[in-house]
Structure 1
């Protein structure tokens, strides 16, 4: 949850001179934060990799596809772990909100050697129905009963959830009710090498970086306009 902001009716109004002084003071903080973010991004790029040992196979609209196929000729692959569970008709509004940004960004980052796919445990027919309803064009495949979601800590067995909650977000929180959660994982292949490496995964608020609309709202006096909970106003875009 973002910090509370003043109501529009209570917001201070000052002279141009005082506004400019306050803005310059904030600019110093923005520059400091930008420099710190540059350091954070560099540290993220420098993380060691781990080799992916399993040969994961997914079900797509055209049949089976391996993890290696999803690179689509590029050396980097982003996987969004979309919360869509078998036997459930619930479409996660937060996952949909993030996914609404993908196709617009994808036309650019694909030119910078990054491919994208979403993965869910739901059957491919269910995935295709949601994809058609939302008008998304990105690749979205089913991990089905494979270990993929479990290995990347976004799906949890009933036993895990019953035993004090399943570990999520690197053990920083426990999940008791949801069988599936969300996250983003990055994979890499070296040129001329079939090996696949896992370089990074992030969960919870780490995924906010991909929500461009939230960044726009952060520039405004009302901020994200949240009422007690993150993204409290967010709906599927065809239900606004």
Structure 2
């Protein structure tokens, strides 16, 4: 941690108000960016995808559950993995309780992974999640939306992730894709984001960003080395996971 001045309350308020001006600049810039995002052109989805889900076989249009907007969380879970990605699980813990609120605004949020449905259901039960999770094991959805890669693509060392701006060393990658369905039933791809573009969807990270230590990931083998699945953290001796005696 960098050294900090210890000042009077009045001095702290003055410094905080100066920083508040910078925060307001960022908020206005973010609002402008959101407007630009909503104005992006769309691509009509012409390919048929069939998923395995909680109600059986489902098309991409079925994933909307009658709503006009669909958010797909590309959850890293390869067919041969025994459990889901810990980083994607970190995000899933955050959006688990958002689903009804999004539904109230004509938006469905689902997760999609290449692992078979039985594995997804078992892991979801273990983690206590209730959101709909679909298997894309029988289709090319993950590859088409640039979150699953073939061995040859990985070996090539090319920039295959985040719109061709970076490489990726494993077969599965995280991402979010957004779709819109019109009154005639046509489905359009409107947005996708990857890498640090996913950052704003993780409320836990933003809470940490408010603290003096921040994310506190410096010096680790990689930034998220500290992260565990929620049921794998060890509580401090003599205390429960929530800090109670």
| TM-score range for the pair, normalised by the shorter chain length | over 0.9
Q: Does 1:154 align with 2:147?
A: yes
Match of 2:107 among 108, 111, 114: 114
What is the SS of the residue equivalent to 2:167? Answer: strand
1:113-145 CA-to-partner distances (Å, cap 9, x unmatched) read 110110000011111111011111000010003
Q: Shift in Å at residue 90 of structure 1? A: 4.4
Distance in 2 (alpha carbons) for counterparts of 1:116 and 1:17 = 45
Q: Which residue of 2 aligns with 1:86?
A: 79
Q: 2:213 aligns with which of 199, 204, 222?
A: 222
Is the 1:79–1:117 Cα contact (8 Å) retained in structure 2?
A: yes
SS at match of 2:134: strand
Q: 1:60 aligned to 2:21?
A: no
Q: Deviations over 1:174-208 (max 9, x none)?
A: 12x31111100000012x21110000000011111
Aligned-residue CA RMSD (Å): 1.3
Q: CA deviation at 1:227?
A: 3.4
1:200 is aligned to 191
Deviation at 1:69, TM superposition (A): 0.6
2:225 is paired with a residue whose SS is: coil
Match of 1:72 among 59, 65, 78: 65
CA–CA distance in structure 2, aligned partners of residues 232 and 205 of structure 1: 16
**Residue deviations 1:17-65 (CA, integer Å, cap 9, x gap):** 2211110110000001100000000000111100001111101133211
**Cα–Cα, structure 1 residues 44 and 236, in superposed 2: closer, same or farther, change >3 Å?**
same
- Aligned mate of 1:178, from 162, 170, 180: 170
- The 1-side partners of 2:129 and 2:99 are apart by 11
**What 5-or-longer segments of structure 1 have no aligned partner?**
none
User: How far apart, CA to CA, are the structure 1 residues paired with 2:83 and 2:123?
Assistant: 10
Change (3 A) 1:108 1:61: closer
Query: Which residue does the alignment assign to 2:124?
Result: 131
Q: TM-score, normalised by structure 1?
A: 0.92
Alignment check: 8 A CA contact 1:80 1:117 kept:
yes
Please say which of residues 160-169 and 194-203 is displaced more in the overlay: 160-169
**Paired residues of 2:83 and 2:123 also in contact (CA < 8 A):** no
Tell me which residue corresponds to 2:8.
Answer: 15
**Normalised by the size of structure 2, how large is the TM-score?**
0.90
What CA distance in whole angstroms lies between the structure 2 residues aligned with 1:133 and 1:142? 17
